[in-house]
Structure 1
């Protein structure tokens, strides 16, 4: 389970990184070069596409951060973890669960699901 948590934490840290150069370095360490990401409102292909997607989240939710909820789990080449997006100690505006495929210690595909979205 520790390895699954480490994967999830590295992934979420890449989403939280606001410095462009550090985020791109983190993405290259977390994702395969041809990785894909899709959730109900966003999708990205490759490191540049995923980076652009993360930038759009930072623009929409400045100062907000992702955190892991509970323990990550998985089997074979899959990992599943839940997360929350909140501003400091405020209530989360979104909670979700992501399922990823791991290949050669990097994520090759991530599918995100929203478990909760605050009403605006």
Structure 2
């Protein structure tokens, strides 16, 4: 069983993966088949749509990387973590907090909240 931060790091690794084949494999390992992702700007259900969202973020923000802000928290099947996104080796532009519902060590749903979004990134 993974601890909270390991689960969040696996999730972040998916968002940072640029190789589509590897990313799809990671999604299949980390998300349930019927998984749902939703935030104020995007929504997806299932592995293919989630992969499409990640690919769209890479297209919109090429060279940007996600990272955890601090260790994640887990309570039962609930996971909470904060992340940041920005160009490598530069200050992060976008920050958010995600709340996930788990099925064991796999993600069932993610509800994302944007904490910081500059106007030029919207």
- Scaled by the length of structure 2, the TM-score of the pair is 0.94
1:76 and 1:104 mapped to 2: Cα distance?
A: 9
- Which residue is equivalent to 1:60? 60
Aligned-residue offset at 1:46:
0.2
Alignment of 1:1-120 (within 5 A): 3-120=3-120
Unaligned 5+ segments in structure 2 are none
Unaligned 5+ segments in structure 1 are none
Corresponding pairs, count: 119
Deviations 1:45-93 (A, max 9, x none): 0000100011110000001110000110021100000000011121212
Runs of 4+ aligned structure 1 residues displaced above 4 Å come to none
1:89 and 1:116 mapped to 2: Cα distance?
A: 19
Aligned-residue offset at 1:14:
0.6
Cα RMSD (Å): 1.0
SS in structure 2 of the partner of residue 18 of structure 1: coil
